[in-house]
């Protein structure tokens, strides 16, 4: 496999495409020629949201200089917003957030920790969910933490993540990622429950680009869902998605 190295001044989304990390469902007019992809987060019916675009940071992780480029871009935005001195430690959320977060901590000269990933019982046909465990690390009471993830989807699981991190006694002060694709949250996230409810947490991402998402019974996607034209194990079957784009 060829090592991908960022080009001088290269747009990060283009860098992601060179790493084969971006899936855009091919179309023939209104007809999808490739499968929909499933997102984290669920609709009113309890089923995972779906869409036409997927940013697979796993494909970028194997190219360290590309990960550094995303970390440097995020660090630049943090500096521009006066947030670099607002946190002491970066906490990476597996898997991509761990890789991205460690590079961010290196660039920003911060301490780094990460959560262990523990699967929750999940029904067949639904996206796997996880809990986070930070018991392997020590924290000072009130230590200021920046939570790093690779992709912010729709923030539906964020309150639970924050609650699991809060048991360490830290103070989460911001969220930072490689991509924020949320159609709802731009630069601020307001926790609705848990220990940080009512706080305004800044959201900073190397790339900010909203991607449309749909409930599985939305008219825009209902026919494809009925036909089984949806990929539930996106990373596992990434080659299938890439082949659909190439065809």
DSSP states along 114-178: EPEEEEPP--TTS---EEEE-TTS---TT-EEEEEEEEE-S-TTHHHHHHHHHTTT-EEEEEEEE
Q: Which of 90-104, 127-141, 150-164, 228-242 is predicted least confidently?
A: 127-141
Residue scoring higher pLDDT (13 or 116): 13
pLDDT at 145 over 80: yes
Q: Which of 156-170, 198-212, 215-229 is predicted least confidently?
A: 156-170
Residue scoring higher pLDDT (90 or 133): 90
Closest CA to 89 of 157, 176, 151, 155: 176
pLDDT at 104 over 90: yes
Closest CA to 167 of 132, 120, 193, 126: 132
Do 188 and 200 contact (CB within 8 A), yes or no?
yes
Do 36 and 231 contact (CB within 8 A), yes or no?
yes
Q: Give exposure, 229-239, as e/b (b: 16+ Cβ within 10 Å).
A: bbbbebeeebe
Residue scoring higher pLDDT (246 or 1): 246
Rounded Cα distance between 201 and 49, Å, is 24
Q: What is the total residue count of the chain?
A: 247
Q: For residue range 10-53, what is the model confidence (pLDDT) as tens digits?
A: 999 999 999 999 999 999 988 999 999 999 888 888 889 999 99
pLDDT at 234 over 90: yes
Rounded Cα distance between 58 and 78, Å, is 24
Domains of the chain listed by start with CATH number: 19-57+212-246 (no CATH), 63-208 (3.40.50.2020)
pLDDT at 123 over 90: no
Across the range 102-127, mean pLDDT stands at: 85
pLDDT at 91 over 80: yes
Calculate the alpha carbon distances from 203 to 24, 62, 231 in Å.
25, 25, 29
pTM of the model: 0.91
pLDDT at 130 over 80: no
Q: How many CA atoms lie less than 13 Å away from 181 in the CB half-sphere?
A: 22
pLDDT at 79 over 90: yes
Rounded Cα distance between 175 and 64, Å, is 22
pLDDT at 60 over 90: yes
Q: For residue range 185-210, what is the model confidence (pLDDT) as tens digits?
A: 999 999 999 999 989 999 999 999 99
pLDDT at 133: 84
Radius of gyration of the CA atoms of the chain, in A: 18
pLDDT at 59 over 70: yes
In which element (H, E) is residue 97 found?
helix 96-108
Number of H helices, E strands in the chain: 7, 15
pLDDT at 124: 66
pLDDT > 90 in the chain, percent: 80
**N-to-C CA span, the chain:** 22
- Banded model confidence at residue 163, pLDDT cuts 50, 70, 90: very high
pLDDT at 99 over 80: yes
């Amino acid at each position: 496999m060829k090592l991908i190295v960022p080009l001088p001044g290269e747009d990060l989304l283009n860098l992601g495409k060179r790493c084969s990390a971006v899936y855009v469902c091919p179309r023939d007019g209104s007809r999808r020629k490739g499968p929909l992809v499933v997102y984290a987060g669920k609709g009113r019916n309890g089923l995972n949201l779906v869409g036409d675009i997927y940013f697979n940071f796993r494909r970028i992780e194997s190219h360290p200089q590309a990960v550094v480029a995303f970390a440097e871009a995020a660090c630049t935005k943090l500096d521009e917003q006066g947030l670099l001195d607002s946190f002491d430690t970066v906490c990476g959320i597996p898997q991509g957030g761990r890789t991205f977060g460690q590079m961010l901590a290196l660039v920003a000269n911060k301490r780094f920790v990460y959560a262990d990933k523990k699967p929750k019982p999940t029904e067949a046909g639904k996206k796997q969910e996880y809990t986070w465990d930070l018991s392997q690390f020590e924290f000072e009471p009130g230590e200021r933490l920046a939570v790093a993830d690779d992709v912010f989807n729709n923030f539906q699981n964020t309150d639970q993540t924050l609650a699991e991190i809060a048991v360490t006694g830290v103070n989460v002060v911001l969220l930072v990622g490689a991509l924020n694709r949320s159609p709802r949250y731009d630069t601020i996230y307001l926790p609705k429950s848990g220990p940080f409810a009512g706080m305004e947490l800044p959201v900073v991402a190397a790339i900010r680009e909203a991607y449309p998402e749909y409930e599985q019974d939305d008219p825009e996607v209902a026919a494809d869902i009925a036909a089984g034209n949806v990929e539930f194990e996106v990373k596992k079957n990434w080659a299938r998605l890439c082949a659909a784009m190439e065809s």
